[in-house]
Amino acid sequence: MNWICETTLKNTEMNIKVRQLTLSDIEHILTLQQEVIQFLEDKNRLSSLSEEEYMYIFNDNGLIIGAFDREKLIAFRALLDPSIDEEHLGLDIGLKKSELKQVIYQEISIVHPDYRGHGLQQTLARLIMNEFEKQEHDYRYVCCTVAPFNIPSLKDKFRQGLEMAALKYKYETKLRYIFVKDLKDLTDRIWNESKVVDMDDTTYQQELFAKGWRGYEMFKEEDRYKVKFGK
């Protein structure tokens, strides 16, 4: 077995191993995904993938890595090379059609409820991007979607240096932030202007995104989540 790494979960003595997943892992992937969906109070916060979509990734259209506690799959993350269509996230953030082939998606991220709170999502984020960078590719942009108030996933994206670039309805009826990171832009962002907006103020956030503002940070103040915007 070719393990990417072996590590200890933060604040525990539990050892886990991480490796690239293959089509032979599909049943374990679907089972874990269903367990996580059943645990969620708000099922709309997770946009799950179908068996066909996972098979598409395994057919040389992306990468999935998984973490194991002994023989049990406890978490996984996926990257997806998306098809070019009218729902492409690159179009949502203002890229030209000629640039869409340069976009890779950070797709679904799943952690079993019993293993949350130990930084596993962030560990897998670092590892999958490391594996991705080992491959020859022409991608420039990483994009993904996150539901408003999905706090763990929002924190995960900001920690990776992704920025909010849009807030739109995706997957037919689900409101989602569109995140992006330019892999070729390694400079630190300097914001000339900044604003703080309540996360539940959808209309004003959409107005700011339409004017070129980016969401770059979030915090909680008096039981309300807020987003920092910069331009």
**Which residue type sits at 229?**
F
Q: What is the mean pLDDT of residues 204-211?
A: 97
Domain boundary, last residue among 149, 171, 186: 186
Task: Look at residue 119 and tell me whether its pLDDT is greater than 80.
Answer: yes
| pLDDT per position as a tens digit, 132-191 | 988 888 999 999 999 999 998 999 999 999 999 999 999 888 999 999 999 988 788 899
Structural domains of the chain, count: 2
Task: Look at residue 197 and tell me whether its pLDDT is greater than 90.
Answer: yes
150, 200: one domain = no
d(CA 153, CA 157): 6
Among 18, 100, 104, 101, CA closest to 57: 104
d(CA 77, CA 65): 6
In the chain, count of helices (H) and strands (E)?
A: 6, 11
Structural domain that includes position 208: 187-231
Among 185, 184, 189, CA closest to 215: 189
The answer to whether 158 touches 218, Cβ cutoff 8 Å, is yes
32, 111: one domain = yes
> What is the CATH classification number for the domain harbouring 180?
3.40.630.30
Pairing of strands 194-198, 174-182: unpaired
Q: Comparing 3-17, 66-80, 168-182, which segment has the lowest mean pLDDT?
A: 3-17
